[in-house]
């Protein structure tokens, strides 16, 4: 038979296990014996691979994604800029993309090579705007490198099992943001736990203490959670500290900088709690225990430096049914080719003032002019809400509508932008419908756009009226019934 002989030494799909009170990881050979594949060296903070480990890890690969902090310059109607903090994914940069290394290569060496590639690419950017390097030349909104924030490196460890790829996204960032934003483009914002927006120290510890429940009662105190996270940190990271200060080359304790998603996953594994981790609206890691123990399922969404836990049971159940995938790069802009039929029109919208309680309203509202829309967007940003934006032009100030979603509330607020001559356009639509019998809706379009819509409405084929029986008889009688017999 022309088939390759099976590898009888070990199963390459297994995960190496660290034995208690040791710095070594072991795998099980096919004969049932356990052998060491690598050992952590605290002297130089690296893994030392055995000969078996070189063979084992050569069949696995690590992939790295990089997030570069930038300052986005959004041009206003008066040619000034509104500057906001943003991120650029390496997958959107052809020169960097997604970097892959063999798992046998030490993580420190991988990180050093990734840093070298990123710095080499940054050194090629010589054009400046307001003292910063422009790193995205093709955008409508220029972006400059923000040197006040650190570049974030994310390592994805990939192995093969059951014919499919299992990807564990090891996001190397502290989840400890105490004043989080509401991002209205996240999956199911309404189902996010309101506890995640309370400024109470470490956001992960605070939410775990309030949301992990057994039979309706909180399972842990804050002190117990911190002790369990210490155990998880020791089990996952050699030396017990998941972060390093690259300038001083010293470890940083998780209590000071934040918890990793991998620590939360390990904590839930130790206590048989179902958990699912989302990043870029995709499930990147999950754990489901073999038996049900009446402890509430957990699901958290990583966005920036914060962990957003979900509270709604139905949403968490839907997330639990999703497969693990590698998230693609998030598009900064998407184009809608075919417009959807409007659900409402201007006559059903309420007038809005920027000074109103923007977070306490629900339904459809309108603002007059691009300047008012930008002012409203700025007011929402001051309240740490990032609305979902729809544009009707190529520039950032051409805002057609904004959708505002809030945790714990199912009703959204949709803010429409209308031109200064919207009343003339609305009157034209009313007269047009009266004269033609059509049902054209006015949804805040400009005079040119509504005229084009009216022309398109007039050129649509009209419904053919069915011929009455009397008219049919008038045609039938002069022909002596020859039409009915096929003679005509």
Find out whether 267 and 232 touch, Cβ atoms under 8 Å: yes
User: Chain centroid to CA 80: how far?
Assistant: 30
Rounded to the nearest 10°, the torsion over CA 231, 233, 236, 242 is -170
pLDDT digits (tens, 9 = 90+) for 74-100: 877 787 888 888 888 887 788 888 787
Other beta carbons less than 10 A from residue 69's beta carbon: 17
| Tokens linked to 16 | 């190496």
Find out whether 134 and 144 touch, Cβ atoms under 8 Å: yes
Q: Residue with structure tokens 């598009």?
A: 331
The span from the CA of 140 to the CA of 137, in Å, is 8
Strands 298-303 and 282-287: unpaired
Q: What is the DSSP string of 363-398?
A: EEEEEESHHHHHHHHHHHHHTTEE-EEEESSSSTT-
pLDDT digits (tens, 9 = 90+) for 368-405: 998 899 999 989 998 889 999 988 877 777 889 999 99
For residue 341, pLDDT beyond 90? no
In 3D space, the residue among 147, 76, 85, 175 whose CA is nearest the CA of residue 381 turns out to be: 85
pTM here is 0.62
pLDDT digits (tens, 9 = 90+) for 433-455: 999 888 888 988 889 989 998 99
The span from the CA of 336 to the CA of 304, in Å, is 27
- The three-class DSSP label of residue 320 is helix
What share of the chain has pLDDT > 90, as a percent? 21
Cross-strand bridge partners of residue 330: none
Alpha helices in 22-140 (DSSP H): 51-57, 107-122
């Amino acid at each position: 038979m022309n088939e390759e002989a099976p590898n009888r030494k070990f199963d390459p799909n297994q995960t190496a296990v660290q034995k208690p009170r040791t710095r070594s990881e072991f795998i099980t050979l096919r004969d049932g014996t356990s052998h060491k594949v690598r050992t952590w060296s605290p002297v130089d903070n690296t893994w030392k691979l055995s000969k078996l480990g070189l063979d084992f890890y050569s069949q696995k690969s690590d992939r790295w994604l990089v997030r570069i902090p930038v300052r986005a310059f959004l041009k206003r109607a008066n040619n000034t800029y509104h500057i906001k903090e943003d991120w650029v994914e390496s997958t959107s940069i052809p020169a960097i993309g997604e970097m892959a290394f063999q798992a046998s290569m030490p993580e420190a060496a991988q990180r050093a090579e990734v840093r070298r590639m990123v710095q080499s690419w940054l050194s090629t950017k010589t054009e400046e705007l307001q003292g910063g390097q422009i790193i995205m030349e093709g955008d409508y909104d220029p972006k400059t490198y923000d040197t006040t924030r650190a570049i974030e490196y994310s390592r994805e460890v990939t192995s093969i099992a059951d014919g499919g790829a299992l990807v564990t996204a090891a996001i190397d960032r502290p989840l400890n943001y105490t004043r989080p934003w509401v991002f209205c483009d996240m999956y199911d914002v309404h189902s996010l736990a309101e506890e995640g927006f309370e400024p109470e120290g470490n956001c992960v510890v605070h939410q775990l203490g309030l949301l992990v429940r057994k039979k309706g009662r909180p399972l842990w105190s804050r002190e117990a959670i911190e002790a369990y996270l210490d155990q998880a940190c020791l089990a996952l990271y050699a030396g017990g500290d998941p972060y390093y200060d690259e300038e001083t080359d010293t470890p940083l304790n998780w209590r000071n900088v934040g918890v990793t998603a991998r620590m939360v996953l390990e904590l839930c594994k130790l206590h048989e709690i179902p958990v699912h981790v989302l990043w870029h609206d995709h499930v990147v890691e999950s754990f489901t225990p073999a038996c049900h123990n009446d402890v509430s399922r957990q699901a958290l969404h990583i966005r920036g430096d914060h962990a957003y836990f979900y509270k709604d049971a139905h949403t968490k159940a839907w997330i639990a049914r999703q497969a693990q995938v590698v998230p693609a790069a998030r598009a900064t802009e998407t184009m809608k080719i075919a417009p959807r039929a409007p659900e409402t029109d201007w006559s059903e919208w309420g007038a809005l003032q920027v000074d109103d309680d923007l977070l306490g309203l629900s339904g459809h509202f309108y603002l007059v002019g691009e300047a008012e829309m930008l002012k409203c967007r700025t007011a929402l940003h001051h309240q740490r809400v990032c609305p979902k934006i729809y544009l009707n032009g190529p520039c950032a100030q051409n805002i057609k509508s904004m959708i505002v979603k809030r945790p714990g509330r199912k009703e959204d607020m949709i803010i429409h932008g209308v031109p200064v001559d919207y009343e003339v356009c609305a009157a034209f639509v009313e007269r047009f419908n009266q004269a033609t019998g059509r049902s054209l809706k006015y949804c805040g379009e400009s005079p040119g756009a509504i005229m084009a819509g009216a022309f398109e409405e007039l050129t649509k084929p009209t419904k053919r009226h069915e011929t009455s029986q009397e008219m049919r008889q008038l045609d039938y009688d002069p022909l002596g019934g020859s039409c009915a017999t096929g003679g005509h």
